[in-house]
Amino acid sequence: MVDAMATPFGALGASSFSGLRVVEMSGDPAGELTGKLLAQLGADVVKVEPPGGSPTRAMGPFVDGHRDLNHSLTYWFYNADKRSVVLDEGDRDDRAALDALLLNADFFINTFSQLDVAANGLGYDVLREKNERLIVLSVTPFGLDGPWAEYQTSDIVGLAAGGMLFSSGYDDHSIPPIRPGGNQGYHVPASFALIGALLALIEREHTGRGQLVDVSMHDTLAVSPELANPFWFYPKVLVQRQTCRHAQPVPTQSALYETSDGRFVYFALILADPKPWASMVEWLASKGLAADLAEPEYSDLAYRQAQFDHVNGIVEVFFLLHDAATLYHEGQERGLPIGPINALEDLFEDEHLEARGFFQDVAHVDTPAAKYPTFPIRFSSIATPAERRAPDLGEHTEEVLASARARSSEDPS
């Protein structure tokens, strides 16, 4: 089992997903990541771009020395594993080509608002007349209807309106809430869009018909602030943000400890549970740094809680005397949940990710191979494809249109 998980699934043969055709017209990372996730499952994702390219092609960071449409790392991140087709909406032949693609598609991912749909005629009501099996994944900032439906968004605006931003920042509340990083405002709706896509696919197995899945970034974020919502549903209290740890109704102890190499580890010092307490004291004692913590009076919970500041001071010194990697591995070996605040460069050195073969080398046309994260869902008996580089703009226009033409001449329905 373990060995099977560590090897690529090439030997398993094609999965049911490899036969699925996806047409994607996304103008933002939420729609683009939705397409990428389906591609990572094995679907053939054709990204349809305007002649100027998807907006993400103009977003940095760029490959050093190449500031052009084919070297945006934002585009690469969100569009790996897809094919790129350029179609000009205003051109009659191109529009016919798009219609041909949609005629045989299983999914149509788009980020159109209702106003866009009114203008481009690519609404679900029109499309289902020609292809009743089509599943339309509409991924928009606020959803297709409602008073905010035409509002604009961005990562920070989405996180603000959806509630997650309110919980994130520093203990010092003169500092505004701080955006938690990595474009997660767009990634949450993409993960729900994948769920919606699969539910619609399962439903289609039962009925033979596709449907419209309306994914609102705002809705998906609003159900995701974790404890903040139940704290309102039940005691009707608001949480307050606290540095790098859970926002809570009341202030709690810091969970960041500085280490000898100038880094931080995350560790919640909880004195209530006797087992981790004993592990902690044993660990400190093994380095001769337990001070008085091994004294019998500390076995009494009330006593050690009364001494919290003293205990915490000893733990702070202990952490300051060791480097982050030592603390992580020694603490975890002793059963203590400790995590280093890894910088992104640390991930490529991580022995665990390495052993699991999580990163994969991917080369571009004129750029040497670099490590890419892979699809984080592993199946023992469903093949998922290896990572492939993002396409250059219009790289697959010819081949995709030729096969779409061939298909529609076979099947004139």
Task: Tell me whether residue 94 or residue 106 sits nearer to other proteins (CB atom).
Answer: 106
Answer for which of 50, 99, 379, 403 binds other proteins (CB under 8 A) is 379
Cα–Cα distance, 146 to 142 (Å, whole number):
8
Residue 299: other Cβ atoms inside 10 A: 13
Q: Is 52 in the site for other proteins (CB under 8 A)?
A: no
Per-residue binding string, other proteins, 9-38, x by CB under 8 A, is ------xxx---------------x---x-
Number of residues that bind other proteins (CB under 8 A): 160
* H helix or E strand, kind and range, residue 217: helix 217-222
Please report, as residue ranges, which positions from 289 to 308 form the binding site for other proteins (by CB under 8 A). Answer: none
- In the range 119-138, which residues lie near other proteins by CB under 8 A? 124
Chain positions 240 to 279 lying near other proteins, rule: CB under 8 A, are 240-250, 252, 255-256, 264-266, 268, 270, 272
CA atoms within 13 A on the CB side of 73: 12
Q: Which of 235, 288, 296, 412 binds other proteins (CB under 8 A)?
A: 235
* DSSP secondary structure string for all residues of 363-375: EETTEEEEEEE--
Longest dimension (CA), the chain: 85
Q: How far is the CB of 92 from other proteins (least distance, A)?
A: 29
Measured CA to CA, the distance from residue 88 to residue 39 in angstroms comes to: 24
CB of 152: closest distance to other proteins in angstroms?
4
**Between 175 and 402, whose beta carbon lies closer to other proteins?**
175
Secondary structure class of 99 (helix, strand, coil):
helix
Residues 204-233 within binding reach of other proteins (CB under 8 A): 205-207, 209, 211-216, 218-220, 222-233
Question: For residues 359-378, which are near other proteins according to CB under 8 A?
Answer: 359, 367, 370-378
**Which secondary-structure segment (H or E) carries 84?**
strand 83-86
Residues 6+ away with beta carbon under 8 Å from 129: none
Eight-class DSSP state of 62: B
Task: Judge whether 22 and 106 are in contact, CB under 8 Å.
Answer: yes
Residue 121: CB minimum distance to other proteins, A:
18
**In the range 146-205, which residues lie near other proteins by CB under 8 A?**
146-149, 151-154, 156-170, 173, 175-184, 187-188, 191-192, 194-196, 198-203, 205
Distance of closest approach, residue 408 Cβ to other proteins, in angstroms:
26
* Contact region with other proteins (CB under 8 A), list: 99-107, 292-300, 340-348, 405-413: 340-348
Residue with tokens 């603390």: 327
Give the whole-angstrom CA distance, residue 67 versus residue 69.
7
